[in-house]
């Protein structure tokens, strides 16, 4: 069950922005992104669909995402199709596509923080009762480091998609 409203959920806002982009713009925005970077299962599902569409040279418009899900057998049945269609509609509306680059950074930072928290929890559990060799192996978590690198890369990105800091002087 979705608890965050689409207007305040960075993952949904990111995906909403993505749906407004051409295939080339979306390809640049998706550089360094993985579906697993998102926490919400529906958002993860939609991002995977978008990655596949963009890889085939198609823009990730809502109708294209919906048709791709149906054609690939991942949105079977009236209930699933209705739910996906409603989710795409809500996510597509009320976004500011110019914030896509900044939202990517927010999404990756959140993914890094989740990975770091999960790693810390595993370390705490292992440190209490596991053999030292297991704790040592757990200390070398490459997932959090890899996410940190992708997050940091987005801070200096200029993939042709405006970032929030480039819009500040234009809003007044």
Tens digits of residue pLDDT in 57-68: 999 999 999 999
Q: Which of 6, 91, 23 is nearest to 57 (CA)?
A: 23
Q: Which of 29, 26, 48 is nearest to 37 (CA)?
A: 48
**What integer pLDDT is reported at residue 3 of this predicted model?**
58
For residues 37 and 35, give the distance between their C-alpha atoms in angstroms, rounded to a whole number.
5
For residues 104 and 101, give the distance between their C-alpha atoms in angstroms, rounded to a whole number.
5
pLDDT at 84 over 80: yes
Q: Between helices 10-19 and 78-92, what is the axis angle to 10°? A: 90
pLDDT at 122 over 90: no
Assess contact for 66 and 127: CB atoms under 8 A: no
What is the distance in angstroms between the CA of the first residue and the CA of the last residue of the chain?
Answer: 38
* Average pLDDT over every residue of 26-32: 96
**What integer pLDDT is reported at residue 159 of this predicted model?**
46
User: 10-167: which CATH topology?
Assistant: DNAb Helicase; Chain A (1.10.860)
**What integer pLDDT is reported at residue 171 of this predicted model?**
40
* Average pLDDT over every residue of 97-113: 95
Assess contact for 132 and 32: CB atoms under 8 A: no
Domain range annotation of the chain: 10-167
pLDDT at 157 over 70: no
pLDDT at 134 over 90: no
């Amino acid at each position: 069950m979705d608890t965050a409203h689409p207007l305040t959920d960075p993952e949904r806002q990111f995906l909403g922005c993505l749906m407004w982009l051409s295939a080339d713009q979306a390809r640049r925005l998706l550089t360094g992104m993985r579906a697993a970077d998102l926490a919400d299962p529906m958002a993860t599902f939609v991002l995977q669909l978008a990655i596949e569409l963009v890889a085939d040279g198609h823009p990730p418009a809502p109708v294209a995402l919906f048709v791709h899900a149906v054609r690939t057998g991942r949105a079977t049945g009236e209930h699933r199709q209705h739910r996906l269609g409603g989710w795409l509609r809500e996510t597509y509306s009320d976004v500011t596509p110019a914030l896509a680059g900044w939202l990517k950074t927010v999404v990756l930072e959140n993914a890094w923080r989740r990975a770091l928290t999960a790693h810390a929890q595993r370390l705490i559990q292992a440190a209490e009762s596991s053999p030292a060799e297991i704790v040592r192996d757990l200390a070398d978590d490459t997932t959090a480091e890899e996410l940190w690198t992708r997050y940091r890369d987005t801070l200096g990105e200029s993939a042709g998609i405006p970032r929030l800091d480039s819009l500040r002087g234009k809003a007044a």
